[in-house]
Amino acid sequence: MRKYGLLGYPLGHSYSPLIHNKIYELLELDYQYLLLECQEYELEKYIDALRNNEYYGFNVTIPYKKEIMKYLDEISDEALAIGAVNTVANINGKIVGYNTDYYGFYNEILYYNINVKNKDCYILGTGGASLAINKALLDLGANTYFVSRNKTGNNIISYLELAKRDIYLLVNTTPVGMHPKEGVSPVNCDIAKNSKYVMDIIFNPSVTKLLSDANSEMNGLYMLVLQAIKAEEIWLDKKLSNYSEDVLEYVRKKI
């Protein structure tokens, strides 16, 4: 049986096995997708396991989307431009990193029919997922700003500054609102209410406090499913986009 998995910590909240194992079921493949909760020093061990065909592909999540890059033989153009990797594959003996978060978020914006061109969009957090989201928004013509408590770097504003801005789209990429911080929002209620659109890449819980404050239902589940399908396309070397709605419907019924 071929094994695939998710590298990160913590992983108790993840729906990834539900999604990927459903894809294998639809394709009638005797494959298995596992949660591989690990520490940073263990990443090299898993890359060696991929090289030796003990595993056939990994997704990478918080907090290793940047750290994983130093263990790879090659990095795709989109992942290099973003500065983060969330999908790893063994391609003809070379360990290659990709970023399918970009694909997932880009298509989620299209799915919700949000026109971000020339609009001011604010990204909460500066981790690996935020970089993919920033690139997707820029490619869609948006004006983007990162929001961080540690204001170091270009195009980063503080949370105090955010409260003074006219916000078209607010995207949360921080873990605030996810276990063990359910019921907490990264911004105050007024900011959420006054933003035209609010999205949260958290998918468990399905409605975070941020989304509740904003009266929004745009969580990260659609992005999660799309990025997973894109990862499987890389691993299996076949087009699977026609399965996206079936997988999304299945996951929604299960959670």
Question: CA 216, CA 233: separation in Å to the nearest integer?
Answer: 31
94 a catalytic residue: no
Of the candidates 220, 225, 223, 219, which has an alpha carbon nearest to the alpha carbon of residue 251?
A: 225
Q: For strands 87-91 and 94-98, give the pairing.
A: antiparallel
Catalytic option among 22, 65, 119, 209 = 65
Which tokens go with 130?
């935020």
Q: What is the dihedral of CA 136, 46, 230, 111, to 10 degrees?
A: -50
- Alpha-helical (H) ranges within 83-216 are 101-111, 128-139, 159-162, 189-194, 209-214
Helix 221-236 vs helix 244-254: crossing angle, to nearest 10: 130
Local structure of 22: helix, strand or coil: helix
Looking at the annotation, which residues are catalytic? 65
